[in-house]
Chain A
Amino acid sequence: DAGVIQSPRHEVTEMGQEVTLRCKPISGHNSLFWYRQTMMRGLELLIYFNNNVPIDDSGMPEDRFSAKMPNASFSTLKIQPSEPRDSAVYFCASRPAGSPLHFGNGTRLTVT
């Protein structure tokens, strides 16, 4: 079991650029979550999917953020255009029903 795989591990980009973060959940896990971690706000849930369907996106900060899950083995979180305040660590996590979350190693995003 390779665990939840996120890419890239680090991303540095300039303000205004599009950023795409990628996640491969653990096979067989039917729920997928995107969290953002900052010093000021801690761990915030952005959006989560169940069986590839978005269930709750109320945590997505604004229209610049979008997430997709085209199939059970892949999800993306896109920021367009990016801003310096988007700098954070973005975690993807997955789980089967009734079980704890398994987290990826996160993507550290820096927007200059």
Chain B
Amino acid sequence: AQTVTQSQPEMSVQEAETVTLSCTYDTSESNYYLFWYKQPPSRQMILVIRQEAYKQQNATENRFSVNFQKAAKSFSLKISDSQLGDTAMYFCAFMKGTGTASKLTFGTGTRLQVTL
């Protein structure tokens, strides 16, 4: 079974600064996807970024980027130029394969607070 570990329950960053959220996972699969989801106080789950395991290039989406280290099974999220609207819970998630029957396994989340 796959496991996803987020070792930072809470983090804080000042507006305009950069912050990195950690995620490690354990799997014996070679083909899989990794995701970061954001959950603001509205409780909506919003996809932030995705990474295919077969791609060596790190994914980026505007101010969000990942550092994917496949051998180390590490998948950290970097938020640049942090904004107050980035305040939320952030969940790392793993999905094996590409089949329609694949499920997402989530980490326990990191609560990020962006301050003035």
With A91-B45, A103-B45, A105-B43 already in contact, the answer to whether A97 and B50 are too (CB < 8 A) is no
**Which chain B residue lies CB-closest to A55?**
B101
B interface, size bucket: 20 to 34
B interface: dominant SS = loop
With A42-B109, A43-B91, A43-B106 already in contact, the answer to whether A50 and B101 are too (CB < 8 A) is yes
Q: Which residues of A contact B109 (CB under 8 A)?
A: 42-43
Binding site for B on A (CB under 8 A): 30-31, 33, 42-43, 45, 48, 50-51, 55-56, 89, 91, 93, 96-98, 100-103, 105-106, 108
The 9 closest A-B pairs by CB, nearest first: A103-B45, A98-B98, A43-B106, A97-B100, A42-B108, A50-B101, A55-B101, A50-B100, A100-B47
